[in-house]
Structure 1
Amino acid sequence: MIAKWLSGLMEAKLPQPRAGMAAVEMTKVSKTYFTGAGEFEALKGIQLSVKAGEFVAVVGKSGSGKSTLINMITGIDRPTGGEVWISGMPVHTLNENQIAVWRGRTVGVVFQFFQLLPTLTVMENVMLPMDFCGMYSRTERPARALALLELVGVREQAHKLPANLSGGQQQRVAIARSLANDPPLLVADEPTGNLDSRTATSVIDFFQELAAGGKTILMVTHDNDLARRSGRIVTVYDGQILPDGDRECASRD
């Protein structure tokens, strides 16, 4: 079953991306969930454009639609209506195999709870996306993994299991893993939620460096102080993106 699935991924061909588009372009995106209690509209006609190299913080109270918005951008979920274009790729039109291939090559995802595989070493965790997508040769992968661990400051932990690292070190490994295939887009969902303030600040410092180097970064956060260190703040409220002047109203609601 796994071999058949992997074979399907290898055969999945992606359409040619449309040139000249923003890093993220969402047009009239809506998302409705159908539950036993009835319909719930999580996103309502979202319009969002993010340029390449922008560092954007996505803020809003719990249940506002932040995670659903991010799931549309990463292809984890599909819109009920509207279009999602990432670097010219029409993500809303891709099938499951195409999305898996596209995401592995194009989007690095950083989670709040690290999501490192406990039985693999730190270096093996970072190499996993390269193995999955067939990126770089087998001889290149270990060296690249070590270089990324050096970049985030935990190279000396390369041969340890994740359980032997602190929370801050595990998050750094997770960031290194998200960069394994050199994706143009990095999406971080509450990446500092389980970190102390000093470590959280260092993570934001690193995100700023990545953005300065051309990476596009979208970060969901509840921390307004960290959000203000991004280049731009997008506020989600009741499934919609608010104009800049309405941020304070949303934060007090």
Structure 2
Amino acid sequence: MNGKWLAWLGAVDLPEPRRDLAAVALSGVGKVYVTGAGEFEALRGIDLTVEAGEFVAVVGKSGSGKSTLINMITGIDRPTAGSVWVAGTPVHGLTENQIAVWRGRTVGVVFQFFQLLPTLTALENVMLPMDFCAVHDPAERPERALRLLELVGVADQADKLPANLSGGQQQRVAIARSLANDPPLLVADEPTGNLDNRTASAVIDLFAELAAGGKTILMVTHDDDLASRASRILTVAEGRIACSAATGEVCDG
């Protein structure tokens, strides 16, 4: 990696993630987009706390505000009003330079379409966040990446390019990559949308295992059966949290 880039990373002053605090804490979060047709209120006064080690499924109709909510938590977008805290860091107050480094260290993101770099092997894709954030010794990164691939069950695919992997294998590599810097929070946006039922179920099993090991998981899904395997279901409707209840419990609203 370019030495100037590493120097810039080192110059970004950020607190270490606090694993003893709530993984996610939102207070009065609102988001308004200005469009050609006028203002659109995507989120309306969201209050939300997710404790460390929870596995939370976020559900709701298309356009309900699910993705906007996730974008607030991951720092991809900023709230118009309110505050967003993740592992003790006020995400809403970070600069653009800080937020890129903060996300690399604190949040692992898993996408529906995997987003693996096609010219890198599975092992190299997992090493990429380590290179970006420079949080592990360069000599240790290949071994750490291989251990993560072992964790998700695809260590035997380490030297293959994404094009030579099945969809399920690519998603497992993507999950390993999201864990590269040992983030306290893992956010998955429709992670099973391109997988068959059996593979999707295996991915959810893996998320449950990670949560049992202390990771906090936030998963956006349209699949009610998969959502029911989380420890809590958060229903978003018209930019508000319409329901938040432990799986199997009746929601009071």
Q: TM tier, shorter chain? A: over 0.9
The more displaced of 215-224 and 134-143 is 134-143
**Are 1:167 and 1:194, in contact at CA under 8 Å, matched by a contact in 2?**
yes
| Aligned alpha-carbon RMSD (Å) | 1.8
Displacement of 1:136 after TM fit? 1.1
Post-superposition Cα deviations, 1:201-248, rounded to whole Å, max 9, x if no partner, equal 000000000000000000000000000000000000000001348xxx
Amino acid at match of 1:109: V
Equivalence for 2:106: 106
TM-score (normalizing by structure 1): 0.92
Give the secondary structure class of the aligned counterpart of 1:242: strand
CA distance in 2, matches of 1:7, 1:70: 30
Equivalence for 1:250: none
Displacement of 1:21 after TM fit? 3.5
**Are 1:8 and 1:97, in contact at CA under 8 Å, matched by a contact in 2?**
no
Aligned residues: 245
Give the secondary structure class of the aligned counterpart of 1:230: coil
Give the secondary structure class of the aligned counterpart of 2:62: coil
TM-score (normalizing by structure 2): 0.92
Post-superposition Cα deviations, 1:1-58, rounded to whole Å, max 9, x if no partner, equal x876664433111257779641100000000001111100000000100000000000
**Are 2:65 and 2:237, in contact at CA under 8 Å, matched by a contact in 1?**
yes
Equivalence for 1:78: 78
Amino acid at match of 1:150: E
Alignment of 1:59-208 (within 5 A): 59-208=59-208
Change beyond 3 A, Cα 1:5–1:42: farther
Post-superposition Cα deviations, 1:132-182, rounded to whole Å, max 9, x if no partner, equal 000211111000111111111111111110000000100000000000011
Equivalence for 2:25: 25
Give the secondary structure class of the aligned counterpart of 2:97: helix
The more displaced of 54-63 and 236-245 is 236-245
2:11 maps to 1:11: yes
**Structure 1: 5+ residue runs without aligned partners?**
246-253
Give the secondary structure class of the aligned counterpart of 1:218: strand
Change beyond 3 A, Cα 1:5–1:34: farther
Amino acid at match of 1:219: M
Change beyond 3 A, Cα 1:4–1:170: same
Equivalence for 1:52: 52
CA distance in 2, matches of 1:5, 1:39: 38
**Structure 2: 5+ residue runs without aligned partners?**
246-253
CA distance in 2, matches of 1:223, 1:183: 26
Change beyond 3 A, Cα 1:147–1:5: closer
Give the secondary structure class of the aligned counterpart of 1:139: helix
**Are 1:9 and 1:100, in contact at CA under 8 Å, matched by a contact in 2?**
no
Give the secondary structure class of the aligned counterpart of 1:222: coil
CA distance in 1, matches of 2:209, 2:243: 27
Displacement of 1:88 after TM fit? 1.0
CA distance in 2, matches of 1:158, 1:15: 33
Give the secondary structure class of the aligned counterpart of 1:229: coil
Post-superposition Cα deviations, 1:107-132, rounded to whole Å, max 9, x if no partner, equal 00000000000001110000000000
